[in-house]
Structure 1
Amino acid sequence: MTHVDVLIVGAGLSGIGAAHQLQKAFPGRTYKILEARETIGGTWDLFRYPGVRSDSDMHTLGYRFRPWTRSKAIADGPSILEYVRETARDAGIDRHILFGHRVVRAAWSTEDSRWMVESVHGDETVTTTASLLYMCSGYYHYDAGHTPDFPGVDRFEGTVVHPQLWPEDLDYTDKKVVVIGSGATAVTLVPAMTDRAAHVTMLQRSPSYVMALPAEDKIANTLRRILGPERAYFLTRWKNVLVGTFFYQLSRRRPEVAKSMLRKAMVKMLPPGYEVDEHFKPRYQPWDQRLCLVPDGDLFSAIRHGRASVVTDRIREFTPTGIALESGTELDADIVVTATGLRLLAFGGMELSVDGKPVELRKTMAYKGMMLSGVPNFVFTIGYTNASWTLKADLVVEYTIRLLKHLDARGYRQFVPTNEDPTVTERPLMDFQAGYVLRSMDEFPRAGSRSPWQLGMSYAHDVVTLRHGKVEDGAMKFTRGRSRVEAATGT
């Protein structure tokens, strides 16, 4: 049985970033990373569909400590994967990763001041103990995405594929392709598949907000030439944070203005007379769901040149040769891609217990959006829904470092968020209207009606509170406990 000071679960973007900052802050501390898959990268290794890319700019999706130096700010998946792997390799993090270890349960012992974590590796169950358990496993199901039960799908004579399980040998050359969905994956797939497909149709039940951004950030590239990568990266990162925050706040406070801006931009890029309101005017307000980004307006360009089209309708049933719609129209298809969303899964589905008592996630409350009430020495990463994931992931590990230094300075070994305020009422963890969130939020921890029990969505605010706010805030409780050596010897 191996013991480490910190056990990280997940070797994706968050896990590698957490390991990098923790080993720099505490070079004498031991750590391991348990990764269920056989390689580094998480999401960026899992998703292999055509055109896979970031839906945030890389100056904010990239790590704070490692400047993104490529010319494209909206980067393709392989480039992001290489960036993550380079970060791990350059810092020696890859030597600390145990691949093929899927965590199934974790049990905390207050008496021993440690976690006992069980992972499945092949036919074996491997046990690792740790003083701190740090979850970087994301929040969705890696095995399969969400696919509705489409009537008649078994009769379809073509190929049906979900983007999360993209076959390496799928040939769509000269094929008629229908992509079901209107989210980030759909708007990525449609223009990407027009390179070889005969035609690609995006079939959506209802529209999403779509915004075009330049694939290359000219300001960032100019600053890099003048100031060098580090200073340019810092300035560009904050530029993009402030611009993103401005548009988010405008969307929430003046939604009609934001909608008008988005519509005018689309009208300029779509063919004259195009039914913009039918296909690109959602029923919800901007940022009720995440905006879909299209680099250089590639989706609109594909529509303008006749290589792609959008159909807004409901599916009645699949037929042997395509999809029959409620309007009476039938779409011919050789390949149907179900870009219909993700399935959420908290902490990879592992079982949690504290001193022999199972932890019911629905009965816990998330402290600062990164820890659980009543669960000691436990940290998790959930990124922003209105900005880049890594902005929040970086802050989570920075706060964790502050917390660990606080423990060291005062001789503490245990910390646990505790909600003792009866006036704090429960809220959903994420106030977000996306279907994949609404389907699963009841299975996740709850948020509270006020700080520190809220999952903040303002990077600027979190910079202040997580980097500079009080560690001892009344809600976080500390105890000295016994060290592992003391517990083992009974002293």
Structure 2
Amino acid sequence: MATATASADTPRPDIDVAIVGAGLSGIGMAAHMRMKCPGRSFALLERRESIGGTWDLFRYPGVRSDSDMHTLGFEFEPWKHEKTIADGPAILEYLDRIVDERDIRRHIRFGQKVLTADFDSDTALWTVTTQTDDGERSTLTARWFYLASGYYDYDEPYDAQLPGIESFEGEVLHPQFWPEHLDYSGKRIVVVGSGATAVTIVPSMALGDKSAAHVTMLQRTPTWMFSRPAKDGVANFLRKVLPEELAYRITRWKNVAMQDFSFKMARNKPQKVKDALTKRITKSLGKNYDEKAFTPPYDPWDQRLCLVPDDDLFEAMNAGKASIVTDQIDRFTPTGVQLRSGKELKADIVVTATGLTLAMAGKIDVRQDGEPVKFEDRFYYKGCMFSNLPNLAVVFGYLNASWTLRADINSDYVCRVLNRMEETGSQIAVPVLTPQNEAALEEDDIFDFSSGYIQRSKHIMPKNAVGFPWRLNQEYRKDKRQMKESPIDDGLLEFRRVSADETLEPAE
């Protein structure tokens, strides 16, 4: 296929857009390109042998979304299942349908781990080096490099340095590397952690088909939890009386508005939200409610809330199959966990649901004219690109809403930029931030969240300014409006073309 943005006297890339990852973000970008840039070539470079990203990697019991699928799903593809809080297999089914119906699968290159990507200003091309599992390397050139590689390290989860864990004689598991055929029937299980993964695993192992004898969630610090039905009654009613796409759009905006309202309420009136969450949990647990286990030392949405669909965790606790212990680990013993309080938790299996390690740019060695790109020295541009870095875009989803909301608006924006490049005959699009203008920017905390995985990783994250466009926002409705209404030619995003003598010229 001919490359639309290349002139007769500039090198042609192998593909127009190299998309790293075939998870939600990568598939979303591919679908947007099929709809909005049909003349351009692309490839999804996926290190694994199947699509899905997170939803293919994580195989622990009960793995599910903690966002509703009317917002975690794409704006262009209605969610058709009755349950809006979906499990991993249902999400993979949704993605499989998209890649097949939209003719994306043939563009996916499986088993290709991206090692390096270097942008050459003379040719306006990215040279991307990939490697297979058996060590074979290959290169390709692309006009654009789109990072849809997620936000965490696939190879190394966070090591919480649990004291004496090596002395435990039972099985130690991490949710990121769950064994395929684990039999935990009748076993005593301790899940270390109190985040979304732990809150998912505990009821699933306690109440599932292979029910454990007992599951204990061992937490150092409680997490704010909220319960909601796994089925969205309004969504299912609308699907019965309205065309499917219209029902989906209405439900999507309803849920976006509810997410936004809840987050702002938590930030503006935290005590009111605390009281409401506590009242709901107290009602669900009754005499089994323990204030110590459900009262975090921080306000709601200082960290992400944990979803308890259909009260499943509380049901497991009321049935005597699960419990929460709030304490600190003194050390592990051969038979369990010795706590600081003096109590010992006996265990056959320990699950270390202690969190993820963030990774910038999928740990790819990204370079510009041979020089390593230090993302921590760059400012975000419209939550999508980076200052003075040409022809590169990234997806880092919302912390206070569904990841895919960001993926959708970034994909749409990049397609608009690609089309503008074609109109101007340019090969380069770069957000220009001069030293003088950068000095005048007021920096902002990129993530105003106290979560451990966020705080541990701030040193690798790009810079964030107080004012748009040099920032990554956490407000979807505002972002969507700004991205759509602000012109592509905003005076900051420069379009350039490479002439025959390999010098840069401004585009018309």
Q: Which TM-score tier does this pair reach, normalised by the shorter chain? A: over 0.9
Following the alignment from structure 1 to structure 2, what is the Cα–Cα distance between the partners of residues 87 and 79? 13
Q: Equivalent residue of 1:21, what SS?
A: helix
Maintained 8 Å contact 1:112/1:484: no
What is the match of residue 261 of structure 1?
276
What is the match of residue 386 of structure 1?
400
Maintained 8 Å contact 1:177/1:334: yes
Structure 1 residue 273 displacement after superposition: 5.7
TM-score, scaled to structure 2? 0.93
Q: Equivalent residue of 1:450, what SS?
A: coil
* 1:21 aligned onto 2:32: yes
Q: Deviations over 1:231-279 (max 9, x none)?
A: 100000000001111111100001111111111111100132621x201
User: Structure 1 counterpart of 2:489, which letter?
Assistant: E
What is the match of residue 125 of structure 1?
137
Q: 1:228 aligns with which of 223, 243, 252?
A: 243
1:436/1:412 CA distance change after superposition, 3 Å: same
What is the match of residue 182 of structure 1?
194
Q: 2:312 aligns with which of 298, 305, 312?
A: 298
Following the alignment from structure 2 to structure 1, what is the Cα–Cα distance between the partners of residues 128 and 501? 15
User: Structure 1 counterpart of 2:472, which letter?
Assistant: L
What is the match of residue 451 of structure 2?
434
Q: 2:181 aligns with which of 146, 151, 169?
A: 169
Q: Deviations over 1:385-419 (max 9, x none)?
A: 00000011000001111212222222222111122
Q: Deviations over 1:428-482 (max 9, x none)?
A: 4323221111111201212122211111111110111112212222322221224
Q: Deviations over 1:48-99 (max 9, x none)?
A: 0000000000000001111001000000011001111111111111101111
Q: 2:467 aligns with which of 450, 453, 465?
A: 450
Q: Any gaps of 5 or more consecutive residues in structure 2?
A: 1-11
Maintained 8 Å contact 2:58/2:178: yes
Structure 1 residue 293 displacement after superposition: 0.5
What is the match of residue 6 of structure 2?
none
Structure 1 residue 2 displacement after superposition: 6.8
209-218 or 459-468, which moves further after superposition?
Answer: 459-468
* 1:31 aligned onto 2:42: yes
User: Structure 2 counterpart of 1:465, which letter?
Assistant: Q
Maintained 8 Å contact 1:112/1:482: no
What is the match of residue 459 of structure 1?
476
440-449 or 239-248, which moves further after superposition?
Answer: 440-449
Maintained 8 Å contact 1:53/1:74: yes
Structure 1 residue 305 displacement after superposition: 1.4
Maintained 8 Å contact 1:366/1:372: yes
Q: Equivalent residue of 1:448, what SS?
A: coil
Maintained 8 Å contact 1:428/1:441: no
User: Structure 1 counterpart of 2:322, which letter?
Assistant: A
User: Structure 2 counterpart of 1:50, which letter?
Assistant: P
Maintained 8 Å contact 2:16/2:144: yes
**CA root-mean-square deviation:** 1.6
What is the match of residue 418 of structure 1?
432
Following the alignment from structure 1 to structure 2, what is the Cα–Cα distance between the partners of residues 91 and 482? 36
Alignment of 1:293-442 (within 5 A): 293-420=307-434, 421=437, 422-442=439-459
Following the alignment from structure 1 to structure 2, what is the Cα–Cα distance between the partners of residues 394 and 478? 23
Maintained 8 Å contact 1:412/1:480: yes
Q: 1:116 aligns with which of 127, 130, 146?
A: 127
What is the match of residue 249 of structure 1?
264
Alignment of 1:142-153 (within 5 A): 142-153=154-165
Maintained 8 Å contact 2:288/2:318: no
Following the alignment from structure 1 to structure 2, what is the Cα–Cα distance between the partners of residues 128 and 484? 23
1:305/1:483 CA distance change after superposition, 3 Å: farther
Maintained 8 Å contact 2:34/2:102: no
User: Structure 2 counterpart of 1:229, which letter?
Assistant: E
Q: Deviations over 1:131-166 (max 9, x none)?
A: 111110011001131131122111111111000000
Identity fraction in percent: 48
Maintained 8 Å contact 1:140/1:344: yes
Following the alignment from structure 1 to structure 2, what is the Cα–Cα distance between the partners of residues 332 and 474? 64
Maintained 8 Å contact 1:113/1:484: no
TM-score, scaled to structure 1? 0.96
1:109/1:329 CA distance change after superposition, 3 Å: same
Structure 1 residue 483 displacement after superposition: 8.2
Following the alignment from structure 1 to structure 2, what is the Cα–Cα distance between the partners of residues 349 and 256? 40
1:483/1:199 CA distance change after superposition, 3 Å: farther
User: Structure 2 counterpart of 1:431, which letter?
Assistant: D
* 1:64 aligned onto 2:75: yes
Q: Equivalent residue of 1:480, what SS?
A: strand
1:10/1:485 CA distance change after superposition, 3 Å: farther
Following the alignment from structure 1 to structure 2, what is the Cα–Cα distance between the partners of residues 198 and 349? 40
What is the match of residue 87 of structure 1?
98
Structure 1 residue 303 displacement after superposition: 0.9
Following the alignment from structure 1 to structure 2, what is the Cα–Cα distance between the partners of residues 4 and 207? 49
343-352 or 422-431, which moves further after superposition?
Answer: 422-431
428-437 or 131-140, which moves further after superposition?
Answer: 428-437
Maintained 8 Å contact 1:144/1:165: no
Following the alignment from structure 1 to structure 2, what is the Cα–Cα distance between the partners of residues 430 and 83? 30
Q: Deviations over 1:271-311 (max 9, x none)?
A: 32621x20111111111111111111111111111110000
What is the match of residue 217 of structure 1?
232
Maintained 8 Å contact 1:4/1:130: yes
Following the alignment from structure 2 to structure 1, what is the Cα–Cα distance between the partners of residues 500 and 66? 44
Q: 1:282 aligns with which of 292, 296, 299?
A: 296
Q: 2:498 aligns with which of 474, 477, 481?
A: 481
User: Structure 2 counterpart of 1:112, which letter?
Assistant: T
Following the alignment from structure 1 to structure 2, what is the Cα–Cα distance between the partners of residues 485 and 119? 27
What is the match of residue 49 of structure 1?
60
Q: Report how many residues are paired.
A: 486
Maintained 8 Å contact 2:13/2:143: no
Maintained 8 Å contact 1:398/1:466: no
Q: Equivalent residue of 1:270, what SS?
A: helix
Q: Any gaps of 5 or more consecutive residues in structure 1?
A: none
What is the match of residue 75 of structure 1?
86
